Amino acid sequence: MLPVLQIGPLVVQTSLLLALIGFWLGLEFSSRAARRQPDIPRGFVDSAVFRALLLGLVVARLVYAAGSIEAYLNDPLALISPLPATMNGPAGLAAAIATIAWLAHRRRVPLRPLLDALAPGIGVLLAVLALGDLTNGTALGTPTDLPWAVTLWDVPRHPVQLYLAVPTLSLALWSLQGGERPFAGFDFLVVTGGYALILLISGIWREPGVVIAGGFRQEQFIAWAALLLLTLVGARWAMQDSPSSNVQLEKEHT
Amino acid sequence: MTMTDLFREPRTWQRFFVGVLLLGGAWLWLSRVDVGGSTAAAPAPRVGAPAPPFTAVLVDGGPIALSDQIGQVIVLNLWATWCPPCRAEMPALERVWQRHRDEGLLVLGLNQQESAERVAAFRAEFALTFPLALDPTGEIGRRYLLTAYPTTYFIGRDGTIRDVIYGGPMPEALIESRVTALLAEE
């Protein structure tokens, strides 16, 4: 466990450093994947992701500050503090997604090839964030005496962060390979659906976080719901691209 | 039929849906947490666990035991006089302490491995009024797995660590927002 790197007076949060590396690697992967997509303008992914990151960070900080408005009015310079503890993550993520969606809409970039291009980057980032949990000693596994246990907070535990990171990274690398795919959007479904599936399965070895009614783990429940939604999206996209559906459409047109 | 052809079939995805619904639902059921059972975590310097207990000596003399302070919101700051970010955030800690000390807030600065004279001189230089305690051997710092100066623990009224900030200086708004949120809890 190594939550911080202290170099003289400078304290660098390891998870933040990993997130930056993950972002850079993810962007590189997505740029490569985008080059395979003829419908995506050159440089669009890099530019859109950078803008999304910037806007996401600003919104994450502002939304956090809005929750403690008096404190920030007394100390407005805190808005530019480099400490990530004062960010509203979900708000920042929503702003980043909205930015990419708006830019894609404006440039008429088709959704499914864009999602495929983003898939390897999303996979790398999710894997690196899971590694960040390992260095931080957060999102802990349950105690175990298995030989591959890692000792966190003086207790040997399931390395659930690795259970999540390794397969997710493998899916990201697979999606970078290219090759024949059943339909556009498939890589995105595999990477995000795969992540949700691993989160659902590995949840049983994770220390309970938020527990909802009936003793269900909130994180697992969300993963399960996301997986169901992604399979429905997969069915719809397969149906839209199936030859029989196209024949039917042609008939309707004639 | 190749795998690619198989995934082109909408029926394959519909089967996936049913599989996820049933098998995933069963797995969720198996993973349920026994909410009636004991979930008390062992004391550890991490979010969600009870803060490890300790007794330290105050700069003015006399002991202070963390366990005696449970019931208040505690901001435990592990620091040293030679550390620039520690020095930089002290005035902000003092202001937050002054604002909320009557509402059940304790700010406790736990100095690491320095003499009482040095800490007393530092307190006079910064006009600090919140309690400063000493950890002359670094034993408490080791128990808290101290890896960076400063490290600040925000501890709720129940003695559970609610947040840890590694490094600094913490902006006053950060301290204020964390403290007001914890004070607002019953």
* A153 in reach of chain B (CB within 8 A): yes
Helix, strand, or coil here: B80? coil
In a shared domain, residues A96 and A28 = no
- Residues in chain B closer than 8 A to A74 (CB atoms): 172-173, 176
pLDDT of amino acid B73: 97
Structure tokens at A53: 């990151």
Q: Is the pLDDT of residue A66 over 60?
A: yes
Q: Total structural domains in chain A?
A: 2
Contact B47 A138 (CB under 8 A): yes
In a shared domain, residues A23 and A93 = no
Quote the CA–CA distance of A242 and A189 in Å, as a whole number: 17
Q: Is the pLDDT of residue B74 over 60?
A: yes
DSSP-derived pairing of the beta strands A4-7 and A10-13 = antiparallel
Q: Is B31 exposed, middle or buried (0-12, 13-18, 19+ CB in 10 A)?
A: buried
Helix, strand, or coil here: A93? helix
Helix, strand, or coil here: A209? coil
Residue A254 lies in a domain: no
In a shared domain, residues A129 and A233 = yes
Instruction: Write the DSSP string, B116-161.
Output: HHHHHHHHHHHT--S-EEEETTSHHHHHTT--SSSEEEEE-TTSBE
For A211, the closest of B8, B35, B174 (CB atoms) is: B35
Question: Which residue, of A109, A135, A167, is where some domain finishes?
Answer: A109
In a shared domain, residues A59 and A180 = no
Residue A45 lies in a domain: yes
- Residues in chain A closer than 8 A to B143 (CB atoms): none
In a shared domain, residues A72 and A102 = yes
In a shared domain, residues A54 and A171 = no
Residue extents of the structural domains in chain B: 1-34, 55-184
C-beta of residue A123 within 8 angstroms of C-beta of residue A171: yes
In a shared domain, residues A51 and A134 = no
Q: Is the pLDDT of residue A252 over 60?
A: no
Q: What is the pLDDT of residues A127-169, one digit of tens each?
A: 999 999 998 888 889 999 999 999 888 889 999 999 999 999 9
The CATH number of domain B55-184 is 3.90.1150.10 = no
Question: Which residue, of A85, A109, A133, is where some domain finishes?
Answer: A109
Average pLDDT over residues A111-121: 97
Interface test mutation site (partner B, options A63, A75, A189, A201, max chain B beta carbons within 10 A): A75
CB pairs under 8 A between A and B: 153
For residue A210, give the chain B residue with the closest CA.
Answer: B33
Beta-carbon contacts of B143 under 8 Å, excluding residues fewer than 6 positions away, are B45, B52, B54
Provide the 10 A C-beta neighbour count for residue B2: 9
Provide the 10 A C-beta neighbour count for residue A98: 14
pLDDT of amino acid A193: 97
Residue A79 structural domain = 41-109
C-beta of residue B103 within 8 angstroms of C-beta of residue B136: no
Contact A221 B165 (CB under 8 A): no
In a shared domain, residues A181 and A224 = yes
Interface test mutation site (partner A, options B99, B177, B182, B183, max chain A beta carbons within 10 A): B177
Question: Which residue, of A109, A128, A160, is where some domain finishes?
Answer: A109
Q: Is the pLDDT of residue B132 over 90?
A: yes
Average pLDDT over residues A101-123: 96
